[in-house]
Chain A
Protein backbone atom coordinates (compact mmCIF):
# COMPACT_ATOMS: atom_id res chain seq x y z
CA UNK A 1 0.00 0.00 0.00
CA UNK A 2 1.23 3.45 -0.97
CA UNK A 3 0.08 6.49 0.99
CA UNK A 4 -0.35 9.72 -0.96
CA UNK A 5 -0.30 12.55 1.55
CA UNK A 6 -3.37 14.78 1.38
CA UNK A 7 -2.81 18.29 2.71
CA UNK A 8 -5.01 20.52 0.51
CA UNK A 9 -2.16 21.22 -1.92
CA UNK A 10 -3.25 20.67 -5.46
CA UNK A 11 -4.20 17.81 -7.66
CA UNK A 12 -3.41 14.57 -5.83
CA UNK A 13 -5.62 12.54 -8.11
CA UNK A 14 -3.14 12.68 -11.00
CA UNK A 15 -0.55 10.82 -8.90
CA UNK A 16 -3.27 8.37 -7.85
CA UNK A 17 -4.34 7.75 -11.46
CA UNK A 18 -0.75 7.06 -12.50
CA UNK A 19 -0.35 4.56 -9.63
CA UNK A 20 -3.67 2.97 -10.64
CA UNK A 21 -2.40 2.64 -14.20
CA UNK A 22 0.71 0.88 -12.83
CA UNK A 23 -1.51 -1.55 -10.91
CA UNK A 24 -0.47 -0.25 -7.49
CA UNK A 25 -2.70 0.00 -4.44
CA UNK A 26 -2.80 3.45 -2.90
CA UNK A 27 -4.67 5.55 -0.41
CA UNK A 28 -5.00 9.35 -0.41
CA UNK A 29 -4.86 10.26 3.23
CA UNK A 30 -3.87 12.64 5.98
CA UNK A 31 -4.42 10.08 8.74
CA UNK A 32 -1.25 9.48 10.70
CA UNK A 33 -1.96 5.76 11.27
CA UNK A 34 -2.57 5.13 7.59
CA UNK A 35 0.57 6.99 6.54
CA UNK A 36 2.75 5.22 9.11
CA UNK A 37 1.29 1.83 8.14
CA UNK A 38 1.97 2.27 4.40
CA UNK A 39 4.84 0.46 2.66
CA UNK A 40 5.88 3.66 0.93
CA UNK A 41 4.81 7.28 0.90
CA UNK A 42 4.40 9.92 -1.80
CA UNK A 43 4.40 13.59 -0.85
CA UNK A 44 3.12 15.56 -3.86
CA UNK A 45 1.89 19.13 -4.08
CA UNK A 46 1.10 22.09 -6.27
CA UNK A 47 0.62 25.61 -5.00
CA UNK A 48 2.28 28.04 -2.64
CA UNK A 49 4.79 27.01 0.03
CA UNK A 50 3.31 29.08 2.87
CA UNK A 51 -0.23 27.72 2.69
CA UNK A 52 1.14 24.20 2.24
CA UNK A 53 3.29 24.51 5.37
CA UNK A 54 0.33 25.89 7.28
CA UNK A 55 -1.82 22.89 6.27
CA UNK A 56 0.95 20.42 7.13
CA UNK A 57 1.39 21.91 10.57
CA UNK A 58 -2.35 22.08 11.22
CA UNK A 59 -2.75 18.38 10.34
CA UNK A 60 0.36 17.41 12.31
CA UNK A 61 1.89 15.98 9.15
CA UNK A 62 5.26 17.68 9.67
CA UNK A 63 6.11 15.17 12.40
CA UNK A 64 4.56 12.27 10.49
CA UNK A 65 6.81 12.96 7.49
CA UNK A 66 9.84 13.10 9.76
CA UNK A 67 8.87 9.70 11.15
CA UNK A 68 8.42 8.23 7.68
CA UNK A 69 11.92 9.42 6.78
CA UNK A 70 13.38 7.99 10.01
CA UNK A 71 11.55 4.68 9.51
CA UNK A 72 13.57 3.89 6.37
CA UNK A 73 10.48 3.37 4.20
CA UNK A 74 10.73 4.81 0.65
CA UNK A 75 9.56 8.43 0.47
CA UNK A 76 9.02 10.32 -2.79
CA UNK A 77 8.56 14.09 -2.92
CA UNK A 78 7.11 15.73 -6.02
CA UNK A 79 7.23 19.43 -7.01
CA UNK A 80 6.00 21.50 -4.04
CA UNK A 81 6.50 18.41 -1.85
CA UNK A 82 10.15 18.42 -2.95
CA UNK A 83 10.54 22.09 -2.14
CA UNK A 84 9.09 22.07 1.35
CA UNK A 85 11.19 19.17 2.58
CA UNK A 86 14.15 21.61 2.45
CA UNK A 87 14.93 23.95 5.32
CA UNK A 88 13.68 27.25 3.93
CA UNK A 89 11.73 28.66 1.00
CA UNK A 90 12.18 32.07 -0.56
CA UNK A 91 8.55 31.75 -1.61
CA UNK A 92 6.98 33.55 1.34
CA UNK A 93 10.35 33.46 3.18
CA UNK A 94 9.29 30.68 5.51
CA UNK A 95 11.05 27.88 7.33
CA UNK A 96 10.14 24.46 5.92
CA UNK A 97 10.36 20.83 7.08
CA UNK A 98 14.15 20.53 6.88
CA UNK A 99 14.14 16.82 6.04
CA UNK A 100 17.02 17.57 3.65
CA UNK A 101 19.43 20.44 4.28
CA UNK A 102 19.07 23.19 1.73
CA UNK A 103 16.74 25.92 0.57
CA UNK A 104 14.34 26.87 -2.17
CA UNK A 105 15.19 29.86 -4.35
CA UNK A 106 13.26 31.95 -6.86
CA UNK A 107 14.26 31.90 -10.53
CA UNK A 108 15.76 35.27 -11.39
CA UNK A 109 13.70 37.48 -13.69
CA UNK A 110 17.03 38.45 -15.30
CA UNK A 111 17.62 35.00 -16.81
CA UNK A 112 18.20 35.02 -20.57
CA UNK A 113 18.28 32.32 -23.24
CA UNK A 114 21.09 31.89 -25.78
CA UNK A 115 19.54 34.58 -28.00
CA UNK A 116 19.45 37.03 -25.10
CA UNK A 117 15.66 36.89 -24.67
CA UNK A 118 14.14 36.79 -21.19
CA UNK A 119 13.27 33.28 -20.07
CA UNK A 120 9.63 32.76 -19.16
CA UNK A 121 8.81 32.23 -15.51
CA UNK A 122 7.42 29.87 -14.30
CA UNK A 123 9.56 27.23 -15.93
CA UNK A 124 6.67 25.37 -17.56
CA UNK A 125 6.93 22.54 -20.03
CA UNK A 126 9.19 19.64 -20.99
CA UNK A 127 12.86 19.75 -20.15
CA UNK A 128 15.72 17.29 -19.93
CA UNK A 129 16.83 15.69 -16.71
CA UNK A 130 20.53 14.77 -16.54
CA UNK A 131 21.12 12.01 -14.02
CA UNK A 132 24.33 12.89 -12.14
CA UNK A 133 24.23 10.06 -9.63
CA UNK A 134 22.99 6.58 -10.47
CA UNK A 135 19.98 5.67 -8.38
CA UNK A 136 17.45 2.79 -8.49
CA UNK A 137 14.52 5.22 -8.81
CA UNK A 138 16.20 6.95 -11.77
CA UNK A 139 17.18 3.69 -13.47
CA UNK A 140 16.69 3.60 -17.25
CA UNK A 141 16.18 7.35 -17.51
CA UNK A 142 18.02 8.34 -20.68
CA UNK A 143 19.55 11.64 -21.75
CA UNK A 144 16.85 12.12 -24.36
CA UNK A 145 14.01 11.61 -21.89
CA UNK A 146 12.16 14.81 -21.01
CA UNK A 147 9.98 15.48 -17.98
CA UNK A 148 7.18 17.94 -17.32
CA UNK A 149 7.96 20.91 -15.06
CA UNK A 150 5.79 23.70 -13.65
CA UNK A 151 7.56 25.88 -11.07
CA UNK A 152 8.83 29.37 -10.33
CA UNK A 153 11.17 28.28 -7.51
CA UNK A 154 13.82 25.58 -7.39
CA UNK A 155 15.47 23.52 -4.63
CA UNK A 156 19.14 23.90 -3.79
CA UNK A 157 20.43 21.11 -1.52
CA UNK A 158 23.18 22.24 0.86
CA UNK A 159 25.15 19.03 0.25
CA UNK A 160 26.12 18.50 -3.41
CA UNK A 161 26.15 14.76 -2.68
CA UNK A 162 22.35 14.94 -2.37
CA UNK A 163 21.92 16.02 -6.00
CA UNK A 164 20.70 13.08 -8.10
CA UNK A 165 19.88 14.88 -11.36
CA UNK A 166 20.22 18.33 -12.90
CA UNK A 167 18.24 20.43 -15.35
CA UNK A 168 19.20 23.60 -17.21
CA UNK A 169 16.87 26.54 -17.28
CA UNK A 170 18.81 29.79 -17.23
CA UNK A 171 20.84 28.18 -14.45
CA UNK A 172 21.58 24.57 -13.61
CA UNK A 173 19.43 23.34 -10.72
CA UNK A 174 18.81 20.06 -8.89
CA UNK A 175 15.77 18.51 -10.59
CA UNK A 176 16.07 15.39 -8.44
CA UNK A 177 17.68 15.00 -5.04
CA UNK A 178 17.75 12.54 -2.18
CA UNK A 179 19.66 10.39 0.27
CA UNK A 180 18.92 7.15 2.11
CA UNK A 181 15.24 6.32 1.66
CA UNK A 182 14.31 9.73 0.22
CA UNK A 183 13.98 10.75 -3.43
CA UNK A 184 12.45 14.05 -4.46
CA UNK A 185 11.80 15.40 -7.95
CA UNK A 186 11.04 18.96 -8.99
CA UNK A 187 9.29 17.69 -12.14
CA UNK A 188 5.99 15.80 -12.29
CA UNK A 189 6.61 12.11 -13.11
CA UNK A 190 2.84 11.54 -13.14
CA UNK A 191 2.55 13.95 -16.09
CA UNK A 192 5.72 13.00 -17.96
CA UNK A 193 4.46 10.20 -20.17
CA UNK A 194 6.27 6.87 -20.21
CA UNK A 195 9.58 8.05 -18.70
CA UNK A 196 7.60 9.44 -15.76
CA UNK A 197 5.60 6.24 -15.34
CA UNK A 198 8.90 4.32 -15.42
CA UNK A 199 10.25 6.46 -12.59
CA UNK A 200 7.08 5.89 -10.52
CA UNK A 201 7.27 2.18 -11.26
CA UNK A 202 10.93 2.19 -10.13
CA UNK A 203 9.88 3.91 -6.92
CA UNK A 204 7.15 1.30 -6.32
CA UNK A 205 9.78 -1.45 -6.50
CA UNK A 206 12.51 0.37 -4.57
CA UNK A 207 13.70 -0.97 -1.23
CA UNK A 208 14.62 2.46 0.09
CA UNK A 209 18.39 2.14 -0.22
CA UNK A 210 20.49 4.22 -2.65
Chain B
Protein backbone atom coordinates (compact mmCIF):
# COMPACT_ATOMS: atom_id res chain seq x y z
CA UNK B 1 0.00 0.00 0.00
CA UNK B 2 1.37 3.33 -0.96
CA UNK B 3 1.62 6.26 1.39
CA UNK B 4 1.41 9.78 0.00
CA UNK B 5 2.81 11.13 3.24
CA UNK B 6 4.96 14.17 2.55
CA UNK B 7 8.45 14.73 3.89
CA UNK B 8 8.47 17.90 5.98
CA UNK B 9 10.69 20.94 5.43
CA UNK B 10 11.06 22.87 8.67
CA UNK B 11 12.76 26.26 9.00
CA UNK B 12 14.35 26.80 12.40
CA UNK B 13 14.47 30.25 14.01
CA UNK B 14 16.74 31.13 16.92
CA UNK B 15 15.15 33.84 19.04
CA UNK B 16 16.86 35.92 21.69
CA UNK B 17 14.81 38.36 23.76
CA UNK B 18 12.09 38.41 21.13
CA UNK B 19 14.33 38.94 18.08
CA UNK B 20 15.70 36.40 15.61
CA UNK B 21 19.47 36.17 15.78
CA UNK B 22 20.26 35.38 12.16
CA UNK B 23 19.91 38.19 9.66
CA UNK B 24 17.39 37.86 6.92
CA UNK B 25 17.50 38.92 3.32
CA UNK B 26 14.11 38.22 1.85
CA UNK B 27 13.46 39.52 -1.62
CA UNK B 28 10.51 41.58 -0.39
CA UNK B 29 12.41 43.07 2.56
CA UNK B 30 10.17 41.84 5.35
CA UNK B 31 10.93 43.18 8.79
CA UNK B 32 14.36 41.89 9.64
CA UNK B 33 14.69 40.19 12.98
CA UNK B 34 10.99 39.94 13.82
CA UNK B 35 10.19 36.26 14.44
CA UNK B 36 6.48 36.80 13.78
CA UNK B 37 7.12 38.33 10.35
CA UNK B 38 9.64 35.61 9.53
CA UNK B 39 7.12 32.98 10.58
CA UNK B 40 4.51 34.58 8.34
CA UNK B 41 6.95 34.64 5.42
CA UNK B 42 7.84 30.96 5.78
CA UNK B 43 4.19 30.00 6.32
CA UNK B 44 3.18 31.84 3.15
CA UNK B 45 6.00 30.30 1.10
CA UNK B 46 5.28 26.69 1.99
CA UNK B 47 7.05 25.71 5.23
CA UNK B 48 5.44 22.54 6.57
CA UNK B 49 6.18 23.35 10.18
CA UNK B 50 8.36 25.78 12.13
CA UNK B 51 10.77 25.38 15.02
CA UNK B 52 11.65 28.20 17.42
CA UNK B 53 14.58 27.99 19.80
CA UNK B 54 14.59 30.50 22.61
CA UNK B 55 18.21 31.30 23.37
CA UNK B 56 17.39 34.08 25.81
CA UNK B 57 19.95 33.71 28.59
CA UNK B 58 18.05 35.42 31.36
CA UNK B 59 15.19 33.49 32.89
CA UNK B 60 13.39 36.73 33.81
CA UNK B 61 12.99 37.60 30.14
CA UNK B 62 11.31 34.32 29.17
CA UNK B 63 7.94 36.05 29.16
CA UNK B 64 9.01 37.81 25.95
CA UNK B 65 9.15 34.42 24.18
CA UNK B 66 5.69 33.49 25.39
CA UNK B 67 4.40 36.69 23.81
CA UNK B 68 6.18 35.80 20.55
CA UNK B 69 4.58 32.32 20.62
CA UNK B 70 1.14 33.86 21.13
CA UNK B 71 1.58 36.25 18.21
CA UNK B 72 2.97 33.52 15.94
CA UNK B 73 -0.03 31.33 16.76
CA UNK B 74 -2.39 34.10 15.62
CA UNK B 75 -0.49 34.52 12.37
CA UNK B 76 0.32 31.08 11.01
CA UNK B 77 -1.89 28.01 10.66
CA UNK B 78 0.64 25.22 10.50
CA UNK B 79 2.18 23.36 13.45
CA UNK B 80 5.18 24.81 15.25
CA UNK B 81 7.34 23.77 18.16
CA UNK B 82 9.20 25.78 20.76
CA UNK B 83 12.38 24.72 22.51
CA UNK B 84 15.12 26.22 24.61
CA UNK B 85 15.00 26.52 28.36
CA UNK B 86 12.07 24.10 28.80
CA UNK B 87 12.86 22.39 32.10
CA UNK B 88 9.52 21.49 33.66
CA UNK B 89 5.98 20.42 32.85
CA UNK B 90 4.93 23.94 33.88
CA UNK B 91 7.27 25.40 31.22
CA UNK B 92 5.74 23.03 28.65
CA UNK B 93 2.20 23.99 29.62
CA UNK B 94 2.98 27.70 29.29
CA UNK B 95 4.30 27.28 25.74
CA UNK B 96 1.44 24.99 24.64
CA UNK B 97 -1.22 27.28 26.08
CA UNK B 98 0.36 30.19 24.22
CA UNK B 99 -0.39 28.28 21.00
CA UNK B 100 2.56 26.01 20.11
CA UNK B 101 1.69 22.46 19.00
CA UNK B 102 4.83 20.91 20.39
CA UNK B 103 7.56 21.57 22.91
CA UNK B 104 11.14 20.49 22.45
CA UNK B 105 13.26 19.37 25.37
CA UNK B 106 16.98 18.76 25.13
CA UNK B 107 19.54 18.94 27.94
CA UNK B 108 16.83 19.16 30.62
CA UNK B 109 15.63 15.71 29.51
CA UNK B 110 19.15 14.30 29.94
CA UNK B 111 19.30 15.66 33.49
CA UNK B 112 15.74 14.56 34.22
CA UNK B 113 14.39 11.90 31.80
CA UNK B 114 11.06 11.87 33.65
CA UNK B 115 10.37 15.23 32.04
CA UNK B 116 9.63 13.30 28.82
CA UNK B 117 7.20 10.83 30.40
CA UNK B 118 5.50 13.52 32.48
CA UNK B 119 5.11 15.75 29.43
CA UNK B 120 3.74 12.88 27.35
CA UNK B 121 1.33 11.94 30.12
CA UNK B 122 0.09 15.51 30.58
CA UNK B 123 -0.19 16.61 26.94
CA UNK B 124 0.19 13.49 24.77
CA UNK B 125 3.30 12.13 23.06
CA UNK B 126 2.56 14.14 19.92
CA UNK B 127 3.40 17.31 21.88
CA UNK B 128 6.82 16.16 23.08
CA UNK B 129 9.83 16.49 20.79
CA UNK B 130 13.20 15.41 22.16
CA UNK B 131 16.13 17.38 20.79
CA UNK B 132 19.37 15.39 20.61
CA UNK B 133 22.76 17.07 20.16
CA UNK B 134 25.19 14.38 19.01
CA UNK B 135 28.93 14.14 18.30
CA UNK B 136 30.85 11.37 16.56
CA UNK B 137 33.37 9.62 18.86
CA UNK B 138 35.50 6.45 18.88
CA UNK B 139 33.35 3.37 19.35
CA UNK B 140 33.83 2.04 22.87
CA UNK B 141 32.18 -0.19 25.39
CA UNK B 142 30.39 2.84 26.80
CA UNK B 143 29.51 4.37 23.42
CA UNK B 144 28.97 1.32 21.18
CA UNK B 145 27.28 3.28 18.38
CA UNK B 146 30.21 5.70 18.06
CA UNK B 147 27.88 8.66 18.63
CA UNK B 148 27.66 10.41 21.98
CA UNK B 149 25.09 12.78 23.48
CA UNK B 150 26.53 16.22 24.18
CA UNK B 151 25.16 19.35 25.88
CA UNK B 152 26.17 23.01 26.15
CA UNK B 153 26.39 23.33 22.36
CA UNK B 154 28.75 20.37 22.14
CA UNK B 155 31.25 21.43 24.79
CA UNK B 156 30.20 18.84 27.37
CA UNK B 157 30.14 15.08 26.73
CA UNK B 158 27.52 13.20 28.74
CA UNK B 159 28.79 9.62 28.47
CA UNK B 160 25.41 8.61 26.99
CA UNK B 161 25.30 6.67 23.74
CA UNK B 162 23.09 8.44 21.17
CA UNK B 163 21.44 5.23 19.92
CA UNK B 164 20.69 4.15 23.48
CA UNK B 165 19.24 7.59 24.24
CA UNK B 166 17.03 7.60 21.12
CA UNK B 167 15.53 4.26 22.17
CA UNK B 168 15.19 5.43 25.75
CA UNK B 169 13.33 8.66 24.91
CA UNK B 170 11.02 6.65 22.64
CA UNK B 171 10.27 4.29 25.52
CA UNK B 172 9.60 7.29 27.78
CA UNK B 173 6.97 8.60 25.37
CA UNK B 174 8.67 11.10 23.06
CA UNK B 175 6.56 11.73 19.95
CA UNK B 176 9.41 12.79 17.72
CA UNK B 177 13.19 13.20 17.74
CA UNK B 178 14.99 16.25 16.40
CA UNK B 179 18.47 14.92 15.72
CA UNK B 180 21.20 17.53 15.49
CA UNK B 181 24.72 16.59 14.45
CA UNK B 182 27.14 18.99 16.11
CA UNK B 183 29.82 17.82 13.65
CA UNK B 184 27.72 18.80 10.64
CA UNK B 185 26.07 21.88 12.15
CA UNK B 186 27.12 25.08 10.41
CA UNK B 187 29.26 23.31 7.80
CA UNK B 188 26.71 23.48 4.95
CA UNK B 189 28.37 20.24 3.78
CA UNK B 190 25.30 18.10 4.23
CA UNK B 191 23.48 16.28 7.01
CA UNK B 192 25.13 13.44 8.95
CA UNK B 193 23.62 10.57 6.98
CA UNK B 194 25.10 7.64 8.91
CA UNK B 195 23.88 8.95 12.24
CA UNK B 196 20.46 9.92 10.90
CA UNK B 197 19.83 6.57 9.20
CA UNK B 198 20.99 4.68 12.28
CA UNK B 199 18.57 6.51 14.59
CA UNK B 200 15.67 6.63 12.11
CA UNK B 201 15.91 2.86 11.52
CA UNK B 202 16.05 2.15 15.25
CA UNK B 203 13.00 4.07 16.51
CA UNK B 204 9.34 3.88 15.46
CA UNK B 205 8.79 7.64 15.90
CA UNK B 206 9.55 10.33 13.28
CA UNK B 207 13.08 11.74 13.10
CA UNK B 208 13.84 15.31 12.02
CA UNK B 209 17.38 15.70 10.69
CA UNK B 210 19.23 18.85 11.72
CA UNK B 211 22.63 20.35 11.00
CA UNK B 212 24.59 20.69 7.80
CA UNK B 213 21.95 21.53 5.18
CA UNK B 214 23.48 23.86 2.57
CA UNK B 215 21.97 22.96 -0.81
CA UNK B 216 18.78 21.12 -1.81
CA UNK B 217 20.58 17.87 -2.66
CA UNK B 218 21.56 17.63 1.02
CA UNK B 219 17.88 17.48 1.91
CA UNK B 220 17.23 14.89 -0.79
CA UNK B 221 20.05 12.75 0.63
CA UNK B 222 18.88 12.89 4.24
CA UNK B 223 15.24 12.27 3.32
CA UNK B 224 16.15 9.17 1.28
CA UNK B 225 19.34 7.38 2.32
CA UNK B 226 19.29 9.19 5.70
CA UNK B 227 15.73 7.85 6.25
CA UNK B 228 14.66 11.10 7.93
CA UNK B 229 10.99 12.07 8.00
CA UNK B 230 11.73 15.78 7.99
CA UNK B 231 14.66 18.15 7.56
CA UNK B 232 15.44 21.28 9.52
CA UNK B 233 16.81 24.20 7.53
CA UNK B 234 18.22 27.50 8.76
CA UNK B 235 20.87 29.61 7.05
CA UNK B 236 20.15 28.22 3.57
CA UNK B 237 16.81 30.03 3.67
CA UNK B 238 17.47 32.78 6.24
CA UNK B 239 20.14 34.40 4.06
CA UNK B 240 18.13 34.09 0.88
CA UNK B 241 20.35 31.45 -0.79
CA UNK B 242 17.25 29.36 -1.49
CA UNK B 243 13.52 29.72 -1.09
CA UNK B 244 11.32 26.93 0.23
CA UNK B 245 9.47 26.62 -3.13
CA UNK B 246 12.84 26.14 -4.86
CA UNK B 247 13.85 23.44 -2.39
CA UNK B 248 10.50 21.69 -2.72
CA UNK B 249 10.57 21.83 -6.51
CA UNK B 250 14.00 20.21 -6.40
CA UNK B 251 12.84 17.47 -4.02
CA UNK B 252 9.74 16.83 -6.12
CA UNK B 253 11.97 16.46 -9.18
CA UNK B 254 14.07 13.97 -7.23
CA UNK B 255 10.95 11.85 -6.66
CA UNK B 256 10.45 12.81 -3.01
CA UNK B 257 6.88 13.45 -1.84
CA UNK B 258 6.52 17.02 -0.59
CA UNK B 259 3.57 19.31 -0.03
CA UNK B 260 3.39 21.53 -3.10
CA UNK B 261 0.23 23.58 -2.57
CA UNK B 262 -0.28 25.87 0.39
Q: Which residues of A pack against B, CB within 8 Å?
A: 10-11, 13-14, 17-18, 20-21, 46-48, 109, 111-114, 117-128, 142, 144-146, 148, 150, 167-172, 190-197
Among B4-12, B23-31, B82-90, the stretch that binds chain A is: B4-12
Q: A13-B99, A121-B204, A127-B4 are in contact. Are A150 and B126 (CB under 8 A)?
A: yes
Which residue of chain A lies nearest to B80 when distances are taken between CB atoms in the complex? Answer: A191
Question: Could you tell me if A168 and B73 are in contact, using CB atoms closer than 8 angstroms?
Answer: no
Q: Are B5 and A11 in contact (CB-based, < 8 A)?
A: no
Report yes or no: A168 in contact with B1, Cβ–Cβ below 8 A: yes
Of A10, A172, A191, A194, which is within 8 A of B1 by CB? A172
Across the interface, B96 reaches (CB within 8 A) one of A11, A148, A194, namely A11
Partner-binding segment picked from B148-156, B235-243, B254-262:
B254-262
List chain B residues, Cβ under 8 A from A117. Answer: 227
Bound complex: CA A46 to CA B220 (Å): 32
Q: Does B77 contact A193, Cβ atoms closer than 8 Å?
A: yes
Which residues of the other chain, B, contact A145 by a CB distance below 8 angstroms?
Answer: 261
* In the complex, number of A-B residue pairs with CB atoms less than 8 Å apart: 100
Interface residues of B (CB under 8 A from A): 1-6, 8, 43, 48, 73-74, 77-79, 96-97, 99, 101, 124-126, 175-176, 204-206, 227, 229-230, 259-262
B-chain residues with CB within 8 Å of residue A113 when the two chains form the complex: 2-3
**In the complex, are the beta carbons of B6 and A127 less than 8 A apart?**
yes
Contacting pair A146 B259 (CB below 8 A)? yes
| Minimal Cβ-Cβ distance residue in B for A129 | B4
Is there an interface contact between A124 and B43, defined as CB atoms closer than 8 Å? no
B-side contacts of A172, CB under 8 Å = 1
**Contact between B77 and A18, CB atoms less than 8 A apart:** yes
Are A111's CB and B1's CB within 8 A?
yes
CB closest chain-A residue, reference B262: A193
Chain A residues, CB < 8 A from B2:
113-114, 168
A144 touches B4 (CB 8 A): no
23 A/B residue pairs, CB under 8 Å, sorted by A: A11-B99, A13-B99, A17-B74, A17-B99, A21-B74, A48-B124, A114-B3, A117-B227, A121-B204, A123-B5, A124-B206, A125-B206, A126-B259, A127-B5, A127-B6, A148-B79, A150-B126, A191-B101, A192-B78, A193-B77, A194-B77, A194-B262, A195-B262
